[in-house]
Amino acid sequence: MDYFLTEGEKTIQNLARRIAEEKILPVRAELDEKEEFPRDIIKDLADSDMFRVFIPEQYDGLGGGCFDLCLVVEELSRACSGVAVSYAASALGSFALLEHGTEAQKHKYLPDIAAGRKLAAFALTEPTAGSDASAMKTTAEKVDGGYVINGTKQFITNGGEAEIYNVIALTDKTRGARGASAFLVEKDTPGFSFGKKEKKMGIRSSATRELVFKNCLVPEDNIIGREGMGFIITLGVLDKSRPGIGSQALGVAQGALEMAVDYARERVQFGHPIIALPVVQNMLADMAIQVEAARALLYAVARTIDGGAKKYTEESAMAKVFASDVAMKVTTNAVQIMGGAGYMRDYPAEKMMRDAKITQIYEGANEVLRGTVAAELRKRKARRA
């Protein structure tokens, strides 16, 4: 389908596609096998200005928005979503700063993120606080000249690899979610260290790690927004970043579809390529329909966000849920079409299936996000009544 991309959007898409094909495809199996962070590819992405895509021009960015970011993530994920999420997590770690940071904070941190010299990360989840983030225990106690952070964050993408961390912590334990605040914490801050590095089912080239804070003093200037704004900031960050997870899902689904079509054309059984079998054609057709429907919804939501919509919680959740469910179905069917070969690690189909699964879980499990959509529907009905 023609989405009538602008010349600028086509340039970004083509550049990301070229990096994916030339730099990622040849090494994706090795990165997955060795669970190795893609440092060299991050540098290639930085050299090609890909980290500038989501940063405004006044901070050395290209001034693009959610749509440009989604185009890059989709193309990278078509080759390897472990690499793509390492890239996208830097945007996730920058959104609070972009939306709520002071000019001084933006000028201090964003040019390095735009140049890809420094990676960012977003740290909300804790061992006892996953879907229910309000159960967090990490505290940030106000002292002279700053805040002292204590606690542990779990499952943090780019943990240990990023230099700049957007950490959510309680400045007032008595107020629950309303007592949370957002902070910028630099990697080498005393009292900040890294714990367990997770061994994952998929996206294995990405780093997922614990962050440990023990009497970690951050300067007063590193609070983002005001005390108590942490959860409002978090909700805004996730609304903005969920289409990126959707794009990750879309890219992996697109890659799996292409692989399944190529395989079905080549594989001969009963004297004919298996693509001649109606049952295989039906599966491929359904996969193609689902992928295009996911793309249409995602692009529409990303354009809605860039167009200046004030609220897009529901749309953002819809796009993430739909695209991730599509990715799981399409990658599973790609393995099925490839039969035994699909199950073997010689082909990337099984990796795509493993990589797709996480998109249904992180940045809001799909069950939780269906609840978000349903809550919006309930509000709408109440308004009409």
- Rank residues 323 and 358 by Cβ distance to ligand FAD and give the closer one: 358
Scored b (16 or more CB within 10 A) or e, 268-281 reads eeeeeebbeeeebe
Burial of 367 (0-12, 13-18, 19+ CB in 10 A): exposed
- Rank residues 133 and 256 by Cβ distance to ligand FAD and give the closer one: 133
Hey, what are 361's tokens?
């879980």
Name the catalytic one among 74, 163, 350, 363.
363
Q: Which residue is nearest to ligand FAD (CB)?
A: 130
Give the interface segment with ligand FAD, choosing from 22-30, 76-84, 115-123, 271-279 (CB under 6 A).
115-123
368 scored as a contact of ligand FAD (CB under 6 A) = yes
Orientation angle between helical segments 81-92 and 39-47, nearest 10 degrees: 60
List residues bridging with 84 in a β-sheet.
none
Identify residues 145-174 at the interface with ligand FAD (CB under 6 A): 155-157
- Rank residues 138 and 157 by Cβ distance to ligand FAD and give the closer one: 157
- Rank residues 108 and 357 by Cβ distance to ligand FAD and give the closer one: 357
83 scored as a contact of ligand FAD (CB under 6 A) = no
The residues near 265 (Cβ < 8 Å, ≥ 6 apart) are 273, 275
CB of 138 closer than 8 Å to CB of 170: yes
CB of 75 closer than 8 Å to CB of 246: no
363 catalytic? Reply is: yes
337 scored as a contact of ligand FAD (CB under 6 A) = no
Choose, by CB under 6 A, the member of 208, 222, 241, 316 that binds ligand FAD.
208
Give the interface segment with ligand FAD, choosing from 62-70, 125-133, 183-191, 281-289 (CB under 6 A).
125-133
86 scored as a contact of ligand FAD (CB under 6 A) = no
Give the interface segment with ligand FAD, choosing from 25-33, 53-61, 138-146, 357-365 (CB under 6 A).
357-365
Nearest to 14 by CA among 27, 2, 5, 3: 5
